[in-house]
Amino acid sequence: MPDTIYLDDAATTRMRPEVLDAMMPYLTEMYGNPSSIHSFGAQCNAACEKARKTIAGLINAKDNEIYFTSGGTESDNWAIKSVAYMKKDKGRHIITSAIEHHAVMETCEALIREGFEVTFVGVDEMGIIKMDDLRAAIRPDTVLISVIYANNEIGTIQPIREIGELARSKGVLFHTDAVQAFGHVPIDVEAEKIDMLSASAHKVNGPKGVGMLYMRNSARIPPMVHGGPHERRRRAGTLNVPGIVGFGKAAELAGAGMPENMAKVTAMRDYLIDRILAEIPHSRLNGDRVRRLPGNANISFRYIEGESMLMMVDMKGIAASTGSACASGSLDPSHVLLAIGLPHEIAHGSLRMTMSERTTKEELDYTVEALKEVVGKLRSMSPLYEDAVKNKEV
């Protein structure tokens, strides 16, 4: 048993050794600027173009539709703000979902403060967007629909193709935050009619601080970062060559191993979910059982408080999360759990465990035993649980 059991892959992943190997030359002797004309630069440029091709191939995009950024947050900001500013004379209405990542949600909130209008379409109890409400929300002045591909807290995968078809039929641009989905499940921007897509290397066993925005050639939006002519004049700044090379390698490995990893991780996830639901009373799975990311298990335990649970499992060497890492430290329950209709007190007792192809059955067995102990201990100290026992609810 390793010292730490890492069940927080949705927050960030471990870089694969092959990724570091691919990056090393570009952190040492291959230090050229890819914009330089000399061969030093040209070699670095070629390495970035190879990564671009691999990444494009993974989502059925063209090479010249991939723009490297500093990560998922920048890609989300760029896509949403630039469409809003570019189209503001046509309309100032944006549609998104109630369960977006903070990078999309806060960007929309910032636009509201600038006078744009945003509709946050609700989801059903499984966390799937209400398609009828989405359809009804589209107005003549709607310029963008942005819906998360797969949710970072509860793992639900949205009906992206349906949303893409709807947006296309209405002449509205469609962006998806696919940071959790890219490299983990198959994505096809053509078949799914996606106009813009955000991805990040560190969620797919690549390095931190590098990501990309896919932008359909017909949907060209203006730059957000101004400067030199990099990235076909759309995202200025000297390319993060080692990061991009690492991202490319991570995408290559993710693509090659996808069917195998999906099957393996899904089996592990289901094993963990089944054992917890069977062995820990008053626990429930959040999110759709099937339309779900392979590695995501999000479970609410009644009568207890997620933060205490998180700290106690941490002392047993297990790294998990109560929701999104960004929300940790805040006492507000997750907006995602509230959006699927969980009452505050149940939403508070939730634990997100996200795993990878490295996760073993032994680690999950240890985790289940630890959870049984921690949940039992916390319930024995909980006034809520005491009341429930008195009222014969349990």
Task: Provide the binding-site residues for ligand PLP, judged by CB under 6 A.
Answer: 71-73, 76, 101, 103, 148, 152, 177, 179-180, 200, 202-203, 211
First-to-final CA distance of the chain: 35
By beta carbon distance, the residue nearest ligand PLP is: 72
Q: 51: phi > 0 → left, psi -120 to 50 → alpha, else beta; which?
A: alpha
Strand order in the sheet with 66-69: 66-69, 211-215, 196-200, 173-177, 142-146, 93-97, 117-121
Which residue, 355 or 375, has its beta carbon nearer to ligand PLP?
Answer: 355
CA distance 100 to 96: 8
Q: Which two tokens stand for residue 328?
A: 């940790």
DSSP structure string for 134-193: HHHH--TTEEEEE--SB-TTT-BBP-HHHHHHHHHHHT-EEEEE-TTTTTTS---TTTTT
| DSSP 8-state class, residue 326 | G
Which residue, 209 or 317, has its beta carbon nearer to ligand PLP?
Answer: 209
48 is catalytic: no
Which residue, 54 or 151, has its beta carbon nearer to ligand PLP?
Answer: 151
Which residue, 105 or 299, has its beta carbon nearer to ligand PLP?
Answer: 105
Which residue, 96 or 283, has its beta carbon nearer to ligand PLP?
Answer: 96
Give strand ranges (E) for the chain: 5-6, 66-69, 93-97, 117-121, 142-146, 173-177, 196-200, 211-215, 283-285, 296-301, 318-319, 350-354
Active site residues: 326
